[in-house]
Structure 1
Amino acid sequence: MRIEGSRILITGGARGLGRRFALDLARAGARVGVCATNEERLARLTEEARQDGVEIWTHRADVASEAEVQGLFDRFVERFEGIDALVANAGITRDALFVKKKDGAVQTMPTAYWNEVVDVNLTGVFLCGREAAKRMAEQGTGGVIVSISSVNRSGAIGQTNYSATKAGIDAMTVVWAKELARYGIRVAALAPGYVATDMTAQMREDVRRKIEAMIPLGRMARPEEISHALRFILENDYVHGRVIEVDGGLRI
């Protein structure tokens, strides 16, 4: 797919990696739309793009809501007269041990933590992927769907919910690739390791050092390195049905 002039929708694009994806693709000439639930962050992104000499369309939407996802795609397609690529980036964490015994009492991961993460990270990707595929099939011009997985898809302590959703994304990527190729729609996933973003910057120094010591390259990824990998997936028309790992050699 040619980036310049393409119509790309990014979910969860108002901060972190999503923000970097949006700005980099807009600078490369793509027509970019971003959704998020925080309107203040969306406004800041719009202004940042304007100051950078590019334009990013924004819309508030909760990817866990079927009605809001359908409305998001209706408005994006109306604004850009179609869609060429979806980057399903929206995701959250609600970390807790599955079972934890402390001072003689046993605590468990709250069901609410499970439901919140599954709703956004898995159901949200399903809803957005389905709407994107539907519109692309109707257009008859193909497209690309990229979901954001994680190195922690193989299982990380304290992340029963998060790891399960990322493993689910990997499975959906394979299924969709098999089903959607007939419509000229490519599907792939990107699995970053730990990335130096505003979220990881809030970690305690000792925790951050411990993580970096586990990574063979000895550091977290820079956001632009993950963004570069996304662009590779979008541009290379033979990447299909695969999860591209960009993790510095880390194995959980």
Structure 2
Amino acid sequence: MDILNKHIVITGAARGLGFTMAEHLMAKGAVVSIVDIDPEAVAAAATKLSQGGKAFGYVANVADEASVETMFEAMKQDHDQIDGLINNAGILRDGLLVKQRDGQLTKMPLSQWQSVIDVNLTGVFLCGRETAAWMIEKETQGVIINISSIAKAGNIGQSNYSAAKAGVSAMSVTWAKELARYGIRVADIAPGFIETEMTNAMKPEAKERVGKMVPLGEWGKPVHIAQGAVFIFENDYYSGRTLEIDAALRL
């Protein structure tokens, strides 16, 4: 797919990885719609992005069906079609399944599990469903990219996150098979350790320790993920697979 003038939607794009992907795609001529839950952040990000091209901002809670459907209806008033979607919105609520300290046993609350599943898995389902329906309605041969994680293989302290990201990868394969008949490609990207606002909040010693785990010896940059997204968009024979961008790190 030629990215020039294509309408690409990115969730969780008011900041961080999503914002960088929006910048990178706009630099290649895409018309970008960013989606996030914070109205002020969306407005500020859309204004900043519009300095380098054409950007639109929409507010939605990707974990809420009515909110997603309302947002897509509003988007249809501004755009005739959707050519691409990057399901990037996600949250972290890390914690051990159970933990015992000083004779005291604690368990991960259901709410901590559910909040991550709602955003990181259900949100991908809802936005993917609405995008696929719009593409089929307009007979658009588009692309859906879901952001997974190498944590999909399982990672200590991330029962909720790992389960959600494994589900994202499985859905990507399923959708690729189901939607191929309409000319719609689907793939997912599994980043390794990437420098974002979320990871920058880690303690310096923890960041240094993580960096030493990576065979290449350093954290990835958001632009590395953006470059991966461009590859998937532009390679018309890539579908149903996970693009792992982790500098040879496998959890």
Equivalence for 2:9: 9
Equivalence for 2:82: 83
Q: Deviations over 1:201-246 (max 9, x none)?
A: 2211110111011100000111111110110001110110000000
8 A Cα contact 1:76 1:82, kept in partner: no
Equivalence for 1:54: 53
Letter of the aligned partner of 1:15 in structure 2? Answer: R
Equivalence for 2:41: 41
Equivalence for 2:160: 161
8 A Cα contact 1:216 1:250, kept in partner: yes
Letter of the aligned partner of 1:40 in structure 2? Answer: E
- How far residue 75 of structure 1 moved from its aligned partner, in angstroms, is 1.8
Letter of the aligned partner of 1:57 in structure 2? Answer: F
Letter of the aligned partner of 1:13 in structure 2? Answer: A
**Using the alignment, how far apart are the partners of 1:75 and 1:143 within structure 2?**
20
User: Matched residue pairs, number?
Assistant: 251
8 A Cα contact 1:150 1:190, kept in partner: yes
- How far residue 47 of structure 1 moved from its aligned partner, in angstroms, is 2.5
Give unpaired runs (5+ residues) of structure 1: none
- Summarize the alignment of residues 107-118 of structure 1 with structure 2, pairs less than 5 Å apart: 107-118=106-117
* Partner SS, residue 129 of structure 2: helix
Letter of the aligned partner of 2:228 in structure 1? Answer: A
Equivalence for 2:64: 65
Q: Deviations over 1:36-94 (max 9, x none)?
A: 011221122123223x3323100110001111111111122221111011110000010
For normalisation by structure 1, the TM-score amounts to 0.97
Q: Deviations over 1:176-203 (max 9, x none)?
A: 1111000010000011101112222221
Q: Percent identity?
A: 47
- Summarize the alignment of residues 129-140 of structure 1 with structure 2, pairs less than 5 Å apart: 129-140=128-139
* Partner SS, residue 34 of structure 2: strand
**Using the alignment, how far apart are the partners of 1:55 and 1:141 within structure 2?**
21
* Partner SS, residue 199 of structure 1: helix
8 A Cα contact 2:87 2:128, kept in partner: yes
**Using the alignment, how far apart are the partners of 2:147 and 2:184 within structure 1?**
17
Give unpaired runs (5+ residues) of structure 2: none
**Using the alignment, how far apart are the partners of 2:72 and 2:43 within structure 1?**
19
For normalisation by structure 2, the TM-score amounts to 0.98
8 A Cα contact 2:195 2:220, kept in partner: yes
8 A Cα contact 2:81 2:140, kept in partner: no
Letter of the aligned partner of 1:46 in structure 2? Answer: A
8 A Cα contact 2:34 2:46, kept in partner: no
RMSD: 1.0
For the pair 1:127 / 2:115, whether they are aligned, the reply is no
Letter of the aligned partner of 1:29 in structure 2? Answer: G
Letter of the aligned partner of 2:202 in structure 1? Answer: M
8 A Cα contact 1:20 1:223, kept in partner: yes
**Using the alignment, how far apart are the partners of 1:8 and 1:78 within structure 2?**
15
* Partner SS, residue 10 of structure 1: strand
* Partner SS, residue 190 of structure 1: strand
* Partner SS, residue 106 of structure 2: strand
Letter of the aligned partner of 2:80 in structure 1? Answer: E
Equivalence for 1:30: 30
